[in-house]
Homo-oligomer: A and B are copies of this chain.
Amino acid sequence: MTTPHGVVQTPAFMPVGTRGAVKAVTARDLEDLGAEIILGNTYHLYLKPGDALIARCAGLHKFIGWNRPILTDSGGYQVFSLAAMRRIDDEGATFRSHIDGSLHLLTPERAVDIQAQLGSDIAMVLDECVGPPPGSDPGRSFTHLGSDPGQSVTHISADVARIAMERSAVWAERARRRQLQLRDDPGSAPEVTIMNPGQAQFGIIQGGTDPGLRTESVQKTLEVGFEAYAIGGLSVGEPVDVMYDVVAHTAPRLPDDRPRYLMGTGMPDDLVECVARGIDLFDCVLPTRNARNGQLLTSRGPMAIKNARYAEDMAPPDPDCTCYTCRHFSRAYLRHLFVVGEMTAATLNSLHNIHFYLDTMRRIREAIVFGSFEKLRREFHQTFSRRPQI
């Protein structure tokens, strides 16, 4: 995938840099880890420090000191899951900031403008997310780990899913029109400072868990026409098999010469399983969030580092791993840092988990090239798939 800030090898995983930083690590760490692209959250950056300020500071890349590609979401997901109040109508989403309660209106056009001012390499359209039930912890919906699959099913009626899908399609058209206006006739929008004229725009397929709605959403979104397409509205509490089925249904209907991006997924085995179903691009807070909560993702399964059994365990967290953390530190030390609450615990755990994700993607790419992807997939399933924590 080629962007104004360089090439991204796909399938790729994007570490999440919510507020202009991937939590607990530095840009230098990310470069060392081989991250080729990161994700920034428009909702957070819009509220603080603001897209206008970032534009005056030469755009998001310069502002955060990251010269490789950046994808920004539209802000919609956080409006739906994080804002203090939200009201959706055809115009857009009216919401109150979770920081100071201030009132904001996010429209499809405004989401385009904000991302134009951020200057990301890939901008996402505003869509209506019906996944996370209001008031739910948005983070929980990302992780299947340790949760009872039956418990986390979100019941979304077909009506709600249809309305959201149709509204998203209308919004997609408005967003595209605005994007093309800024691209073709920037002088007509003097209020927007376009920081990255080569910015691509991705459309998003909605439709919940209904294959018919998904097909319809694909048709409507392809009709609008974007540089590439994402699958939204998954990993929001539905059973993992349902998620896989929706991906298997939707991905092949998207152009195979464009990257297909599965938003907000997932567990390490989700990466492998969804690549098998045609996905090229992933993002998820799981590796960094779980790191801060003391969960290491390893080739032998997830590991709760605070477990007393590691108190004197001088082995590296993952003996098969070549990351900085595993090459230099023991389970005993990482447990100690976590138990006493040292920030360095978050850093070392995050370095490992991000490495594990990026290394998984490297292995997937290699396996595809060498024709051994199905073998890798079986191995991964046996050694990792949702087994109890070690």
Residues of A within 8 A of B (CB): 19-28, 44, 48-49, 53, 56-58, 62-65, 311-312, 314, 324, 328-330, 332-333, 336-337, 339-340, 342-344, 346-348
| B24 and A343 contact, CB distance less than 8 A | yes
Minimum C-beta distance from A345 to chain B (A): 8
Nearest B residue (CB) for A45: B336
Which residue in B23, B48, B328 is a CB contact (below 8 Å) of A339?
Answer: B48
In the bound complex, how far is the Cα of B21 from the Cα of A325, in angstroms? 14
Contacts of A324 in B (CB 8 A): 26, 28
Residue pair A65, B342 in contact (C-beta under 8 Å): no
A330 touches B57 (CB 8 A): yes
CB neighbours of A24 from chain B (8 A): 343-344, 347
Question: Across the interface, which residues of B come within 8 angstroms of A339, CB to CB?
Answer: 48-49
The reply to whether A340 and B48 form a contact with Cβ atoms under 8 Å apart is yes
Contact at B63–A333, with CB atoms within 8 Å?
A: yes
Nearest Cβ on chain B to A55's Cβ, whole angstroms? 10
What are 23 inter-chain pairs, A to B, with CB distance below 8 A?
A: A19-B337, A20-B333, A20-B336, A20-B337, A21-B337, A21-B342, A26-B348, A28-B324, A49-B311, A49-B332, A49-B336, A53-B311, A53-B312, A53-B332, A57-B312, A57-B330, A57-B333, A63-B333, A63-B336, A64-B333, A65-B330, A65-B333, A343-B347
Q: How far in angstroms is the closest Cβ of chain B from A330?
A: 7
Cβ–Cβ < 8 Å partners of A62 in chain B = 314
Expressed in whole angstroms, the minimum distance between the Cβ of A293 and any Cβ of chain B is: 14
A328 contact set on B, CB distance < 8 A = 27-28, 65
Nearest Cβ on chain B to A305's Cβ, whole angstroms:
13
- B57 & A340 in contact (Cβ 8 Å cutoff): no
Q: In the complex, given contacts A27-B328, A49-B336, A63-B333, what are 4 additional A-B residue pairs having Cβ atoms less than 8 angstroms apart? A: A23-B343, A23-B344, A48-B336, A57-B312
Is B343 touching A346 in the complex (CB atoms < 8 A)?
Answer: yes
Indicate if the CB atoms of A344 and B26 lie closer than 8 Å.
yes
From A20, A49, A348, residue with most partner B Cβ within 10 Å: A49
Contact partners of A21 in chain B: CB under 8 A: 337, 342, 344
List of B residues within 8 angstroms of A27 by Cβ: 328
Q: Which chain B residue shows the least CB distance to A345?
A: B21
